Amino acid sequence: MSLISLVGAGKDFGLRTLFADLDLHVGERDRLGLIGPNGAGKSTLLKVLAGREPLDRGERRCSSRLNVVLLDQEPDLDPAQTVLEQVFAGSGERMALLREHGLLSHALAENADDQRLLARFSDLLHRMDACQAWDLERECHEVLERLGIGDVHRPVAELSGGNRRRVALAAALVAQPEVLLLDEPTNHLDADGVEWLQGWLDRYPGALVLVTHDRYLLDRVTRRIVAVERGEARRYEGNYATYLAHRAEEDESEVATAAKFRGDLRRELAWLRQGPKARSTKQKARLQRIEAMREQPARQARGAVSMAATARRIGKKAISVEDLAVHAGERPLLEAFSYDFSPEDRVGIIGPNGVGKSSLLEVIAGLRLPSGGRLELGSTVKLAYFDQHSSVLLGNSDRRGAGPLSERQLADRKLAERRLLDRKVIDVVQEAASRVEVDGQELSASQLLERFLFPPAQQHQPVAKLSGGERRRLHLCRLLIEAPNVLLLDEPTNDLDVHTLGVLEEFLEDFRGCVVVVSHDRWFLDRTVDRLFCFEQGRLQRFEGNYSAYLERRQALAAEASRRPAPGTPAAPRSATPDGAGQPDPVGQLASPAQAAVAQASPAQRPQALRRRSFKETRELERIDTELPLWESRRGELEARLGSGGGDYTRIEELTQELAELLERIARAEERWLLLSELAD
């Protein structure tokens, strides 16, 4: 049975059509995922389903008694209520029954023999049992705890933006409506919170409509996909993996159809230029067909973000930290962290919310001072920080060593935010560079914006008209035009659509530089990092591999611990590696005793076959196989030119320098090739 139906639905945003002639039905226990580019209308479609946004055409049909709850990206909470009161407020009938129970209990305490009150009380108890109202408070506390909200009596007015989102999510889950509409529910959740939410949604008995960039969640929870794009809404049966297969087939078909159409039109135009020999009915019909083909509008191609590596050269040294300490006031977040980030590092930083992941990136980016230790950037480093608040758009990207923002600086930042919303999209990018070279081709700021799916008409609109995802995409464009060689990415997947995330992942695969990522997105971490640092009690524990490997190891250890509980916890072995000196060895924390012994062995003794080669490492090995012969060929050319002599000493010096750098690059590549080739396929 259909709970909500959209019939012939259409919605416009200014001159742009978000969707037209849409028929969509949400049935009982439906699991529907909405995907599409940022600004395509996914959030608007959720609001239409919730009855908060009117349609321009068509109609919305549903029962007036249907209980529908929408988690918006900007939830409207009551600042006067506490966290617990706000979560209770969305519980509808169950909360009303609890309140009625309190009133009736008080009335019966004063008049225990009132038969009318006793009958009402008996009926109330039956209704409370039927909808499990007794469990409401316990559920509220459990959900809030799982989502990382500890102080349930804190006023909503004092909460940060991320905590407000989590409270709104808790209220939506506890309400248990017949139809639950979630817009990016994983934003501001850590990895454990996302895992818990995924399990909760698996067991949810009502209908679910989901907008999310978390592709593992989308693949696990949904059974039907609606792709909103180019003014259309296409339906696909199956989960996200099934949708990808259908999408690939459609793309191939559209390319073939477009090629056939161009071929037909070319042949007809050639016939037309030759001139018909007579004016028969058949020839007149052919002329009419040619005219119709020429006037037929070409189907708009699917938008695809295009990111190309524009990183400048980076030397041997990227980032070096020694005994680094980071505090939040008097509270220590990180102690004694030492590590040398290499120019080709792909590092992920994970841990619960509030442990200091973003604070560490801010210290590396120079936006706050460390509490102790040493941090040094390489002389050739050009650093770009993709933070959660788009500070690069506000002119705060170059504040090295400035420390935390003062009250005056916070006020200036708010003023800058208001001014930013009034600026044109193209002005934001031109401020960094009016032209940029990408893959040997010089592009203007306008051409670069088109690669990031900002058409010319949108480039001259104010930033205020962009959606949250479009602003994040603009932030990325502004960063990459400066050609950095070290990228710090703080929750880069927030508000970006799944198509843009896929392109960003491919960009990072080809990026020649160091990448440090803070993210809860499991798919993104699996695709982009080879090493993890996990916050554990103020220290960063190192793990070699991606997030899925880390999760499998953690689950295996938990299962082993449950089978054989140890009487005491032994001290973690100390790391013998230079970049982990003085820290508990993470492999000792995450591996069996035999694997821990392997980890403490020398590199020559350590069997690399214990770990399988990751997807990223396989791509890297293939790239080295391709590039090494080219570098060897260039080496031969340089040696031959130097051996031939000549009197141009300036040119000889340039060739000598190039040869030295090339020999160093070849040596590093050969060493890396040997290491990767020894790993298991």
Q: What is the residue-wise DSSP string for 547-610?
A: HHHHHHHHHHHHHHHHHS--SS-PPPPBP-SGGGTTSB-HHHHHS-HHHHHHHHS-TTTS-GGG
How far apart CA 236 and CA 343 sit, in angstroms, is 42
Torsion angle defined by CA atoms of residues 159, 192, 611 and 575, in that order, rounded to the nearest 10 degrees: 50
Name the burial class of residue 302, with classes exposed (0-12), middle (13-18) and buried (19+) by CB atoms within 10 angstroms of its CB.
middle
- Residues paired with residue 61 on neighbouring β-strands, in sequence order: 5
Single-letter amino acid code for the residue at 638: L
- In this structure, are strands 531-536 and 539-544 parallel, antiparallel, or unpaired? antiparallel
How far apart CA 182 and CA 72 sit, in angstroms, is 7
Residues of the chain with pLDDT under 70: 15, 90-96, 98-99, 102, 131-134, 254-255, 257-258, 261-262, 264-311, 389-414, 416-417, 437-440, 564-612, 615, 645-649, 680-681
- Assign 490 to helix, strand or coil: strand
For tokens 């296409």, the residue is 234
**What b/e string do you get for 172-196 counting C-beta neighbours within 10 Å, with b at 16 or more?**
bbbbbbbbbbbbbbbbbbbbbbbbb
Q: What's the pTM value of the predicted model, to 2 decimals?
A: 0.64
- Assign 527 to helix, strand or coil: helix
How far apart CA 177 and CA 506 sit, in angstroms, is 39
DSSP state of 622: H
Asked if residue 67 lies in contact with residue 92, where contact means CB atoms within 8 angstroms, the answer is: yes
Q: Give me the pLDDT at residue 611, please.
A: 57
**What b/e string do you get for 600-614 counting C-beta neighbours within 10 Å, with b at 16 or more?**
beeeeeeebeeeebb
Name the burial class of residue 336, with classes exposed (0-12), middle (13-18) and buried (19+) by CB atoms within 10 angstroms of its CB.
middle
Asked if residue 608 lies in contact with residue 679, where contact means CB atoms within 8 angstroms, the answer is: yes
What is the H or E stretch that residue 639 is in? helix 615-643
- Give the pair of three-digit tokens for residue 437: 């070279």
How confident is the model over 108-117, as pLDDT tens digits? 888 877 888 8
Q: Give me the pLDDT at residue 597, please.
A: 36
Asked if residue 80 lies in contact with residue 240, where contact means CB atoms within 8 angstroms, the answer is: no
Asked if residue 159 lies in contact with residue 83, where contact means CB atoms within 8 angstroms, the answer is: yes
